[in-house]
Amino acid sequence: MTQLNLSGRVAAITGGASGIGKAIAQSFAAAGAQVRIVDVDGPAAARTADEITSAGGNALAFQCDVTDGPDVESVFSRIASHNSIDVLVNCAGIAQIGTIADTETADFERVFCVNVKGTFLCMKAVLPGMINQGRGSIVNMASIAATAGLSKRFAYSMSKGAVLAMTLSVAKDFIDKNIRCNCISPARVHTPFVDGFLHASYPGREKEMFAELSHAQPIGRMATPEEVAVLALYLSSDSANFLTGANIPFDGGFTYLRN
């Protein structure tokens, strides 16, 4: 049986300084990957890389604004200057609360630029190298919002729907190049972002609202970043060589088991 092993592989992870991205970076490093953490927060990326190297892993940090084309090109060129990039995980993303009626154009464009344009630019940056070496794996972070109607998530849902569509398109266009492209669609994941959102939106009611959000998943809780990381590791490994063009609902039963 093939093990979940990334020894000798170079893996670039956007949004890798915190939350789900950080858990993925740690998981990949533990599986032997040379992890390249790409994040707009340079100091946080450096801290995560230091934690990984202190634990015996291989990690480097790169500050990058994924919405800036020249910046993305420069950073990914630097990453690939010594070793080709074998795996890309697009984890950088932001959220937006609101219906279409109260979503301002600036909010819409901000979400689009990070979640959609950023994913596009990073995939475009790694594809030539993957084509040249004859293999590659791309994992995009979508969301249940891509396929389910969620209240007050207009711009966010738009962006994640686009991520899903881009995933399918890239998987189709490059299947003959031995490049796989899949996406993960989590339900709620307990990250520092969730805690910050609850503190800002429901001061004094954080515990109550955390329980309510947790039970929106039929399984009765939120996922952990580490659980998402295991799935990303599988999708990036040779164990998943037959899997491409997949959207995996990692959602505690939300998609199919809701009453």
Res. 180: pLDDT tops 70: yes
Q: For the chain, which residues make up each domain, given as ranges? A: 10-187+224-257, 189-222
At 55, which amino acid appears? A
Bridge partners of 139, per DSSP, are 89, 182
- 97 Cβ contact list (under 8 Å, min separation 6): 152, 153, 156, 201
pLDDT value at residue 2: 53
Higher pLDDT, 140 or 4: 140
Q: Answer whether residue 217 shows pLDDT above 70.
A: yes
CA distance 97 to 107: 10
Could you tell me which residues are beta bridge partners of residue 65?
none
Strand order across the 136-141 sheet? 58-63, 34-39, 10-14, 87-90, 136-141, 179-186, 247-250
Q: Which of 79-83, 131-135, 167-171 has the lowest mean pLDDT?
A: 79-83
Q: Dihedral of CA 186/245/130/237: which sign?
A: positive
* CB-CB contact of 136 with 183 (8 Å): no
Which residue spans within 51-178 are E strands per DSSP? Answer: 58-63, 87-90, 136-141
What is the per-residue pLDDT for 184? Answer: 98
Tens of pLDDT, residues 78-99: 999 989 999 999 999 999 999 9
Can you state the percent helix, strand and coil of the chain, rounding each to 5? 50, 15, 35
Cα–Cα distance for residue pair 123/90, rounded to 1 Å: 8
Averaged pLDDT, 205-233: 96
φ/ψ (deg, to 5) at 9: -95, 145
Determine the 3-state secondary structure of 160 from DSSP: helix
Q: Among this protein's residues, is 156 annotated catalytic?
A: yes
Looking at residue 196, what is its pLDDT?
87
CATH (residue range 10-187+224-257): 3.40.50.720
Among 156, 202, 234, 256, the one annotated catalytic: 156
From CA 16, how far away is CA 147, in angstroms rounded? 25
Mean residue pLDDT of the chain comes to 96
Contacts of 56-59 with CB under 8 Å at 24 or more apart are 57/26, 57/29, 57/30, 58/29, 58/33, 58/34, 59/25, 59/29, 59/34, 59/35
Q: Is the dihedral of CA 148, 151, 154, 155 positive or negative?
A: negative
* The pLDDT of residue 1: 42
Separation of alpha carbons 52 and 24, rounded Å: 11
Return the pLDDT at 258.
85
pTM: 0.96
Model confidence pLDDT, tens digit, residues 22-70: 999 999 999 999 999 999 999 999 999 999 999 999 999 999 999 999 9
In this predicted structure, what is the pLDDT of residue 166?
98
Per-residue pLDDT tens for 2-23? 579 999 999 999 999 999 999 9
Of 197 and 62, more confident: 62
Instruction: Give the pairing of strands 58-63 and 179-186.
Output: unpaired
Q: Are 91 and 140 in contact (CB under 8 A)?
A: no
